[in-house]
Amino acid sequence: MASEITYAEVKFKNASPAAVVEVPPETKKHEHHPQKYPPWLPWLISLLLLLACIALVIALLVVPFSRSGDQPTALQQTFMEWQCTSAEPQGKGRGWMCCPKGWKHFQNSCYYLSADKMSWAESEQNCTGMGSHLVVINTEAEQAFLTKELQVPTGINYYIGLRAQAVGQWQWVDQTPYSERAAFWRKDEPNNHGDDEMCVVIHSSSVIHNWNDLRCESHYRICEASAVTV
């Protein structure tokens, strides 16, 4: 007869229960996500840059023209668009010299070369209406600058601000004394043909001595005004 195997559950007195080891939860790995910016941030930066550019333009042009104690000139009141070039700082920290757009800049002056013809009197009136006057040439450097600007095309007459009150009695429009040392007549000019030739032009050519006296009829003109310093 086969023996029977009996299973019994035995509990030992004072036996401690199996130790439970608490395993700390797995530490989460820190994931590095790229920092997200709001979608409107690039637009805000672009707007701020645009406003900064506008403020710079105003600071360079508009504000200096309207400073207290600086009365705007007739030239400033006439023209809205200006071109400025860097210059040596002059008083009050100013370092830009400005001319109306389309005018030529040389030293401390701005020059307008017309594209239409008028009589001498009409030419001076036109220049005055723009806050300037027919050009007054004081130095050889100024004469050389104008000669260079007028080389193309050649053979054209431009009025300057010199006129005779009587034959041979030349006078600049701004009352600057006339000086033979700062005169640049063409050869055999002025010929002083009575009362017929009382006005003076620059005859566009490559030579610096290019003034001519002639009748005060219709010719082109050169206007001059002081550059605006800002």
Strand-pair partners of 100 = 82
Residue 51 falls within a domain, yes or no? Answer: no
Determine the structural domain holding residue 141 and report its residue range: 59-229
Closest listed residue to residue 126, CA positions, set 94, 80, 161, 150: 161
Helix (H) or strand (E) holding 26: none
Q: Do residues 153 and 140 make contact, with C-beta atoms less than 8 angstroms apart?
A: no
Distances (CA, A) of 34 to 28, 37, 38, 78, 103: 18, 9, 13, 56, 55
Number of structural domains found in the chain: 1
Query: 78-87 — which CB contacts under 8 Å span 24+ positions?
Result: 78/129, 78/130, 78/131, 79/130, 82/228, 84/60, 84/230, 87/229
Other CB atoms within 10 Å distance of the CB of residue 60: 15
Domain contains 161: yes
Global confidence as pTM: 0.68
Main-chain dihedrals φ then ψ at residue 84, nearest 5 degrees: -120, 145
Residue 165 belongs to some domain of the structure: yes
Residue 47 domain-assigned (yes or no): no
Quick check: is 121 in a domain? yes
In a domain, residue 13? The reply is no
- 12 in any annotated domain: no
Q: How far apart are CA 112 and CA 128, in angstroms?
A: 12
- DSSP designation for 29: P
CATH code, domain with 181: 3.10.100.10
How do the pLDDT tens digits run along the chain, 230 residues long?
Answer: 444 444 334 443 444 444 444 545 554 455 555 566 777 778 888 889 989 878 776 655 554 454 434 567 889 888 999 999 887 654 455 588 999 999 999 999 999 999 999 999 999 999 999 999 999 999 999 999 999 999 877 789 999 999 998 888 999 999 999 999 999 999 999 987 667 899 999 999 889 999 999 999 999 999 999 999 88
